[in-house]
Amino acid sequence: MSLVTVLILAAAGSFLGWRLSALGGVAGRLLPVFVPAGLFVSFLFHWPVITTGGVVTDMHAWVPSLGVALNLRLDGFSYLFTLLITGIGSLVTLYAGAYFADAPGEHRARFIFLILIFMTAMLGTVLSDNLIVMFVFWEATSLTSFMLIGFDARKPEARRAALQSLLITAGGGLALFGAILLIGLELGSFSLSNAATSAGQLAQSPYLAGILVLLFLGAFTKSAQFPFHFWLPQAMAAPTPASAYLHSATMVKLGIYLLGRFDAAFAQVPAFGITLVVVGSLTMLIAAFNALRATGYKAVLAQSTVASLGILVMLIGLDGEVAAVATAGFILAHALYKAALFFCAGTAIHATHIAELRKLGGLVRFLPFTAAAAVLASFSMAGLPPFVGFISKEYLFEAQLESGWNVVPVVVAVVVNGIMVAVAGVVSLRPFFLGRDKISKVDHGETLGLLFGPLLLGILGIVMGLIPGQVTRHLVGPAATALYGAPIDTSFSLWHGITPMLFLSLAAVGLGAVLAWKWTPIHDALRAAAWTQKIDADRIYHKTVAAILGIARGSTRWLQNGDQRRYTAIVLAMLLASCLWVIWRTGSFALPEFDTILPLPALLLIAAFVGALVAAQANSLIAALIGVGIVGYGSALLFVLNGAPDLALTQFAVETLVLVVIMAVLLRLPTRTQTTRTKTEHRFDAAIAIGFAGIVFIGLAAMLAIPFDDRISLFYGETSYTEALGHNVVNVILVDYRALDTLGETAVVAFATMGAWALLRRRRTDRKG
Amino acid sequence: MNSMIFTASARILFALMLAASIFILWRGHDEPGGGFVGGLVASMALAVVALAEGVPRARRMLRIHPMSLAGLGVFLGFVSGLPGLLIDGSYLTHQWVFFPNGFKLGTTMVFDIGVYLVVLGGMLALVFRLYEDAP
């Protein structure tokens, strides 16, 4: 199946899954699973090509004039992602069916629909070889993530978290778009694979700094790296199946994916790697520290996810083959165990309606298989042999030792891994095995749908650890090769012998065991410490947002106070000031020479001038209206004299209609107005009006002094009949040359009058009722 | 307004102005005129009826709600570009049909009718509202 077919099927499948999951009973819970599962199987058919180091491509034109092509490309790295997306997607769909078993059908259907749409967007992101297309899908994942975090829209904290994640990830997406445009400007194409082979050109680019900063902003916001690390734990307001899927296994790894894709492109830029190692290490430390402080079951897991993402960012920053293998291996291992742990957390919270880790205990009596799955997953997370997590951790340490870095990242990695071991112990032992008397009954037991996902992932963690050769050849090897940009001879094996890495692993496990044992006192001490409250990034975020809103409110209140006179005064004063500034900057302007006075136009202008005076001075609104009318008809007559019959016709019609409309308004107003302006205000108004009139006069006169460039009018005059079959150039421009503009303006007219019409309508009902 | 002369001449004015507006719309592509002016004149024609015989009467003569008319206008403008998209691959590139006697008809006319209807509908929506409310 071609790649674009897969994408189309995924999108269509979302709608199919939506309707299927609205069915009652087992059918509604099981049938939607076939959508992601079918896609998973379709990707398996690409296995032979990928294993031999091949690449699957599928090219389609989309917007050729902008260089945007629907070019899809499947290599080892994206293959790893597609299998995770569709594989875990299938398990999430199955799990969600069971999780929402008691919920109304439409509720569950909406959730499944969002999950499947998200899956489509994810597939599009990792398959696109065109940066613009990738960006479109990238932003689609941010939007679906927003919808899923805010799924329980009635909870204020869910709405708050959803908005926060949207502001941060979509804001980062805009930065990424800037980076993409700069890359396109430098390389002349938006091809991702082309960028990866243009390392030399990118390193020499004058835009390099801009590209790097914007790219980092995009990747770090998406993957919750410091200083944007705080949105991910807040995103736990999403239903647990969504947390398992988006906020641990797939979406948050998109930042990693992007950085991995550009790793080869910026191979010659040292700042790229250094930034990644520093930011990754900082994120790891902060998240590990926050994991010790977190109280919620899901919150602890979320903090450990942020730490894992930090590890991945750091790994991409390290150079060398081993780092590429470690990255690919860790992405796989982490997705397996973290999704499983989220599933177990979801089952425990669902069963007890308690989200706090400390209040849970002894659940093994009620949820024995969930407890088993949690133990399997946490062993892999702790990096114990023979789980796949152990192998990936060995590679992590090896990559650090082989890189040119000093000992600091290694120490950070050991400490953070120690805390990860502790987290693994705490999230599996405490709620299920310790504190037997905390929970006396559960509302929901474990069902097959709730168990299948975590058990399968837990077992996969051990199976993959036992057959590392197969995993390497078919999955990790091709991914690492694609990441590194050159073939790697990988040996992903369980036993490396007595190596420095083994000792580092032992140190991490030892530290973790101590921390897990002393978890409660450490946790309490950290929560009690006042200084930890002050550096809460989430608070800083909310203060920033509140400040921005405050500025907006203040400026709106000052500028938009509802007084039309002030609006006009501000606009005219700004125009006046900018025109004066331009005149002052340019120093001089030429005025045309006046030689003859044309009697007829002069008479018209005098009449219009008198009309304007009447309008400004009259106390009666009707007299003012007539004054304005004289100005309007006067200018219409001027148009006639100067060979613009079209303009004149329109002006006449508009003037007349304005008269008709305003008369209806005037019928309701007192004929004589009370003047509300003070003398000073009047003088100010007059000064602005006279100044503005003067500048317009000078501007128009100066325009006449410049020789008239008639190329455009000649072009339209010559082509209006040959190209558009019309003799009336004005109308031909409106309906043909600039038809799209006119269509837009027509819509504006329609919507504006609709708005005015609606306002008039409300006033009427108010009066009646 | 209770002027008998005005009421009597309103019908004639209406017919003349409507005919003029359609004439202006029709000749717009080659001579001064077009959908926008045509729409303005047409809305004045109905405004005259509303002034002389009351808004309900004018509404009845129009039959369709003015806001729907404006919506129809935007829709026609949108639709007029589709033939260009299908034939030329370029949206809003107008297409023409030629008759043996030299007469030609293009999608520009559909576009112009759209503009005409938007202006007519939008203006009338406001005029009717304002005059309905008048004391």
- Distance from the Cα of B38 to chain A's closest Cα (Å) equals 9
Sign, CA dihedral B12-B18-B21-B27, equals negative
Q: Which of A649, A742, A753 sits opposite B125 (nearest CB)?
A: A753
Contact A191/A71 with Cβ under 8 angstroms?
A: yes
Q: At residue A762, does pLDDT exceed 60?
A: no
| pLDDT confidence band for A93 (50 / 70 / 90) | very high
pLDDT score recorded for residue A700 = 85
A491, two tokens: 């040996």
- Distance from the Cα of A5 to chain B's closest Cα (Å) equals 24
Other beta carbons less than 10 A from residue A547's beta carbon: 10
Q: At residue A114, does pLDDT exceed 90?
A: yes
Q: Which of B67, B104, B130 sits opposite A661 (nearest CB)?
A: B130
Report the candidate in A384, A401, A396 with the shortest Cα–Cα distance to residue A307.
A396
DSSP notation for A438-485: S----SS---HHHHHHHHHHHHHHHHHHH-HHHHIIIIIHHHHHHHHT
- Distance from the Cα of A661 to chain B's closest Cα (Å) equals 6
A485, two tokens: 């940009």
Residue in A with minimal Cα distance to B74:
A747
Residues of A in contact with B58 (CB under 8 A): none
Q: Could you give the 3-state DSSP secondary structure of residue B98?
A: strand
Q: Could you give the 3-state DSSP secondary structure of residue A553?
A: helix
- Interface test mutation site (partner B, options A654, A753, A764, max chain B beta carbons within 10 A): A753
| Section A415-426 average pLDDT | 88
Residues of A in contact with B112 (CB under 8 A): 731, 735
A696, two tokens: 């317009």
pLDDT score recorded for residue A408 = 82
For chain A, which residues make up each domain, given as ranges?
269-529, 601-673
> Does B41 contact chain A (CB < 8 Å)?
yes
Residues of B in contact with A736 (CB under 8 A): 94, 108
Contact B93/B86 with Cβ under 8 angstroms?
A: no
Q: Which of B24, B37, B119 sits opposite A749 (nearest CB)?
A: B119
DSSP state of B106: E
Residues of A in contact with B110 (CB under 8 A): none
Within a 13 Å sphere around the CA of A115, how many CA atoms are in the beta-carbon half?
A: 34
DSSP state of A617: H
Q: Assign residue A76 a region (left: φ > 0; alpha: ψ between -120 and 50; beta: otherwise).
A: alpha
Report the candidate in A212, A235, A232 with the shortest Cα–Cα distance to residue A221.
A232
pLDDT, one tens digit per residue, over A643-697 is 888 888 889 999 888 888 887 777 777 766 666 778 888 888 889 999 999 998 8
> Does B107 contact chain A (CB < 8 Å)?
no
Q: Is A731 close to B135, i.e. CB distance below 8 A?
A: no
For chain B, which residues make up each domain, given as ranges?
4-133
Which helix H or strand E contains A218, and what residues bound it? helix A208-222
Alpha helices in A529-598 (DSSP H): 531-534, 537-559, 564-586
Integer Cα distance of A119 and A10 in angstroms: 8
Q: Which of A661, A727, A732 sits opposite B126 (nearest CB)?
A: A661
- Interface test mutation site (partner A, options B21, B118, B123, max chain A beta carbons within 10 A): B118
Q: Which of A649, A728, A750 sits opposite B29 (nearest CB)?
A: A728
> Does B63 contact chain A (CB < 8 Å)?
no
Q: How far is CA A402 from the centre of its chain?
A: 36
Contact A32/A20 with Cβ under 8 angstroms?
A: yes
A232, two tokens: 């991910």
Q: Which of A724, A727, A746 sits opposite B73 (nearest CB)?
A: A746
Q: Is A731 close to B125, i.e. CB distance below 8 A?
A: no
Q: What percent of chain A has pLDDT over 70?
A: 96
Integer Cα distance of A407 and A412 in angstroms: 9
Instruction: List the single range of A82-86, A367-371, A721-725 with lowest mean pLDDT.
Output: A721-725
| Section A740-751 average pLDDT | 93
Contact A409/A281 with Cβ under 8 angstroms?
A: yes
| pLDDT confidence band for A714 (50 / 70 / 90) | confident
Residue in B with minimal Cα distance to A644:
B32
> Token match 């809305």: residue?
B43
pLDDT score recorded for residue A103 = 83
- Distance from the Cα of A582 to chain B's closest Cα (Å) equals 36
Q: Which of A657, A735, A756 sits opposite B112 (nearest CB)?
A: A735
Q: At residue A765, does pLDDT exceed 60?
A: no
A404, two tokens: 């040119």
Contact A112/A153 with Cβ under 8 angstroms?
A: no
| pLDDT confidence band for A768 (50 / 70 / 90) | very low
Integer Cα distance of A698 and A703 in angstroms: 8
> Does B30 contact chain A (CB < 8 Å)?
yes
Which helix H or strand E contains A56, and what residues bound it? strand A56-63
pLDDT, one tens digit per residue, over A130-157 is 999 999 999 999 999 999 999 988 999 8
pLDDT, one tens digit per residue, over A511-543 is 888 888 888 888 888 887 767 666 677 788 888
| pLDDT confidence band for A769 (50 / 70 / 90) | very low
Sign, CA dihedral A151-A154-A157-A163, equals positive
Which helix H or strand E contains A614, and what residues bound it? helix A599-617
- Distance from the Cα of A623 to chain B's closest Cα (Å) equals 20
Q: At residue A248, does pLDDT exceed 50?
A: yes
Beta bridge partners of B129: none
Residues of B in contact with A752 (CB under 8 A): 122
Integer Cα distance of A474 and A50 in angstroms: 8
Integer Cα distance of A161 and A231 in angstroms: 7
pLDDT, one tens digit per residue, over A537-586 is 778 888 888 999 999 999 888 888 888 888 888 899 999 999 889 888 88
Residues of B in contact with A724 (CB under 8 A): 94, 108
Other beta carbons less than 10 A from residue A320's beta carbon: 16
Contact B18/B97 with Cβ under 8 angstroms?
A: no
Burial A560-585 (b: 16+ CB within 10 A, else e): eeeeeeeeebeebeeebeebeeeeee
pLDDT, one tens digit per residue, over A42-61 is 999 998 888 888 888 888 88
> pLDDT: is A594 or A515 the higher one?
A515
Q: Which of A653, A726, A728 sits opposite B41 (nearest CB)?
A: A653
Q: At residue A73, does pLDDT exceed 80?
A: yes
> Does B119 contact chain A (CB < 8 Å)?
yes
pLDDT score recorded for residue A353 = 87
pLDDT, one tens digit per residue, over B12-58 is 999 999 999 999 998 888 888 888 999 999 999 999 898 888 889 99
Across chain A, mean pLDDT equals 87
Between positions 66 and 95 of B, the ones with CB within 8 A of A are 67, 70-71, 73-74, 77-78, 81, 91-92, 94
> Does B34 contact chain A (CB < 8 Å)?
yes
Integer Cα distance of A756 and A768 in angstroms: 19
> Token match 């990790």: residue?
A476
DSSP state of A247: I
User: Which positions ≥6 away from A620 have C-beta within 8 Å?
Assistant: A671, A672, A673
| Section A259-284 average pLDDT | 90
Residues of chain A with a CB closer than 8 angstroms to some CB in chain B: 645-646, 649-650, 653-654, 656-657, 660-661, 664-665, 667-668, 724-728, 730-732, 734-736, 739-740, 742-743, 746-747, 749-750, 752-754, 756-757, 760-761, 763-764
Q: Is B129 close to A764, i.e. CB distance below 8 A?
A: yes
Decide the pairing of beta strands B104-106 and B96-98.
antiparallel
Residue A706, φ and ψ in degrees, nearest 5? -85, 135
Contact A219/A225 with Cβ under 8 angstroms?
A: yes
- Distance from the Cα of A630 to chain B's closest Cα (Å) equals 19
> Does B120 contact chain A (CB < 8 Å)?
no
Burial A334-353 (b: 16+ CB within 10 A, else e): bbbbbbbbbbbbbbbbbbbe
- The answer to whether the pTM exceeds 0.95 is no
Q: Which of A646, A653, A757 sits opposite B129 (nearest CB)?
A: A757
- Distance from the Cα of A689 to chain B's closest Cα (Å) equals 30
A243, two tokens: 């947390």
Decide the pairing of beta strands B104-106 and A56-63.
unpaired
> Does B42 contact chain A (CB < 8 Å)?
no
- Interface test mutation site (partner A, options B6, B115, B116, B120, max chain A beta carbons within 10 A): B115
DSSP state of A671: S
Integer Cα distance of A440 and A5 in angstroms: 52
pLDDT, one tens digit per residue, over A170-218 is 999 999 999 999 999 999 888 888 888 888 888 888 999 999 999 999 9
Across chain B, mean pLDDT equals 88
Residues of A in contact with B41 (CB under 8 A): 653
pLDDT, one tens digit per residue, over A476-511 is 888 888 888 777 776 666 666 777 888 888 888 888
Q: Is B29 close to A661, i.e. CB distance below 8 A?
A: no
- Distance from the Cα of A604 to chain B's closest Cα (Å) equals 23
